[in-house]
Amino acid sequence: MQKPILILGACGQIGTELTMELRSKYGADSVVASDIREGGEALMASGPFELLDATNYDAIEDVVMHYEIDEVYLMAAMLSATAEKFPMRAWNLNMNSLFNVLNLAKDRKISKIFWPSSIAVFGPSTPKENTPQNTIMEPSTVYGISKQSGERWCEYYFNKFGVDVRSVRYPGLISWKTMPGGGTTDYAVEIYHQALENGRYKCFLKEDTQLPMMYMDDAIRATLNLMEADVSTIRVRSSYNLGSMSFTPQEIAKTIKAHIPDFQMEYQPDFRQQIADSWPSSIDDSYAKKDWGWEPKYDLKSTTSEMLKNLGGK
């Protein structure tokens, strides 16, 4: 039987779908959702929920003890664009929440952690194409600096204290159930909403900015595959590169036009352009493929079909 799981940041873009998937897999009562605010109706109705601040160690420990939690998924974080506006708040949230769960595992109060990293750990000096697992990492954003530091701490806690912490570097994630908040890759979600509502979208990145992206179903599957993998197969304790597709705003617009011929795209790059320019354009995820059998299912075309179908039917 699955021992109880706690999700911190369960109401966000990833947390919502992760919670629902874990609940359908292990049973609603085995998965405790938590966030600093309540989430959508479907999530709130689907199982136990606790109001919880991921930076408050004592509060997390209380919940862990009360439900006899064994695994924690830490999905609470401030993303790249918002973090540039509130650097210290981002650093405090992203780092303190991580230390809280790492220290719970170090003290053997929980036995497994999932913590997401990001393509934002890479920077302008990183090779852009097919970015390797191990390469130059000089992130130039507040968010990227926090994720890069987090990766170092995860590996340190594994080596020093045997903490079973597992991580992937998510690319930009595309989903229809819950909106992303404050990221640089958010355009690739907004565009579908705007295409259906207004037939047009003003993109905050330039037409030829290519970034690594992934459909949410693939991201959730990767996360669960990694968490279920036998401990002996996991060779990377910082964070695994994870890839599926890469595209530009112009290319995503083209796939939307195939469904909505009158769709119009305008470009008005803002401060997020500089963030996007510092990130890879494609990712080499051969370690994830080799170690725990990662294989993506969705490409840009199937992602666009799924997004338009599901949002259109909402």
Which residues pair with residue 168 across a beta bridge? 240
Sole binder of ligand SER in the list 19, 178, 185, 281 (CB under 6 A): 185
Catalytic position from the list 143, 201, 240, 298 = 143
Closest separation between CB of residue 8 and ligand SER, Å?
17
118 near ligand SER (CB under 6 A): yes
Which is it for strands 211-215 and 245-247: parallel, antiparallel or unpaired? Answer: antiparallel
Site string for ligand SER, 78-117 (x = CB under 6 A): -xx-------------------------------------
Q: Which two tokens stand for residue 175?
A: 């989903």
Which positions from 134 through 173 interact with ligand SER, judged by CB under 6 A?
A: 143, 170, 172
Closest separation between CB of residue 184 and ligand SER, Å?
4
Eight-state DSSP code of residue 199: S
Q: Which two tokens stand for residue 228?
A: 């279920």
Q: What is the residue-wise DSSP string for 251-285? A: HHHHHHHTTSTT-EEEE---THHHHHHTS-SSB--
Q: Which residue is nearest to ligand SER (CB)?
A: 183
> Does the annotation count 215 as an active-site position?
no
Number of chain positions touching ligand SER (CB under 6 A): 11
- State residue 197 phi and psi, 5-degree precision: -80, -45
Contact by Cβ (8 Å): 157, 106: yes
Which positions from 29 through 88 interact with ligand SER, judged by CB under 6 A?
A: 79-80
Question: CA–CA separation, 208 vs 230, rounded Å?
Answer: 40
Question: Which residues lie near ligand SER (CB under 6 A)?
Answer: 79-80, 118-120, 143, 170, 172, 183-185
